Structure 1
Amino acid sequence: MSMTLSRPDCVIRIKDRDHYLVKDIEAMFGVEWRTVMRWLEDGKLTRVEYPNGICVPADEVERFYLARTPDGDRPQGAPRPGPKPSDGPGRQQ
């Protein structure tokens, strides 16, 4: 499966680097705001504060996008998590 990254029309320039707003990252990845915030909290993306909100360096977003698998945000080659004991019976892969 091939993924393509559609870049937003508006890019914020901070310290000679392009940055994307959180809402633009949501649209690029097709995820909700909470997912982007989780990526920021988990250190998968770098949060940059600017006067009108939060943004992320564009080159970092593009690297993160290329490292994702089509079905989630695990890096390429990362193993799928196995079932947990709390999943109960019948939840085997």
Structure 2
Amino acid sequence: MPRAIIRLDDPTSHGGVVQEGFANVKLYGKAMAGVGHRGYCPQCRCEFVILAGEETYEYLGRKAAVEGMLTSCGAVLIATQHLAKITPTPKQA
């Protein structure tokens, strides 16, 4: 099932926000985020890192972050746009 791509300023399930993204990759005016990009979590009172991304899309060696992926503080990423999506490739047995 396709998942929406995460961008700069997108929220998390802990009330946090993504604070980094690829400066030269914009989706509807905001930078696309990927694995290793950072944000802040008010619930945990700490900076987080995006831990997981979509296996089928990589930019500059980083997988693109998509809705439902986890951060280092345990929060889930929530997309604010739902037009730009990535469809995962089925895994080979």
Q: Fold match, TM over 0.5?
A: no
Bigger helix fraction: 1
Bigger strand fraction: 2
Larger radius of gyration: 1
TM-score by length of 2: 0.31
Bigger relative contact order, structure 1 or 2, given CA contacts below 8 A and separation 6+?
Answer: 2
